[in-house]
Amino acid sequence: MGAGCGLRAAYRFDSASTALQFIVQVGLRCEQDNWHPHLDWRVNTVALRLALHQCEQPGAQDLKLARHISIEASKLESQVTTGR
């Protein structure tokens, strides 16, 4: 996930159903952590942004969630694409 006013990443999957599976996995984790990422789903591509308050540096919890998201995407054999 990249820098900016939040952490961003986009992932391309082999199919729309795999992209949706990823969204569900990320959504369940985010709900558990009381986090609400911005998400854009386009057929087999999912772009995510974890917004940070006041454009501050990401904290340990932010980075932990970003790592979890990246690991889940990797398990589903995604390709990282350039973010929006």
pLDDT in tens, 5-62: 788 899 999 999 999 999 999 999 988 988 888 999 999 999 998 877 667 788 788 8
Cβ atoms within 10 Å, residue 64: 12
Q: How far is CA 7 from the centre of its chain?
A: 8
What is the amino acid identity at position 35?
Answer: W
pLDDT band for 2, please (50, 70, 90 cuts): very low
**What does the alpha-carbon distance between residue 45 and residue 63 come to, in Å, rounded to a whole number?**
22
Architecture of the structural domain at 6-81 = 2-Layer Sandwich (3.30)
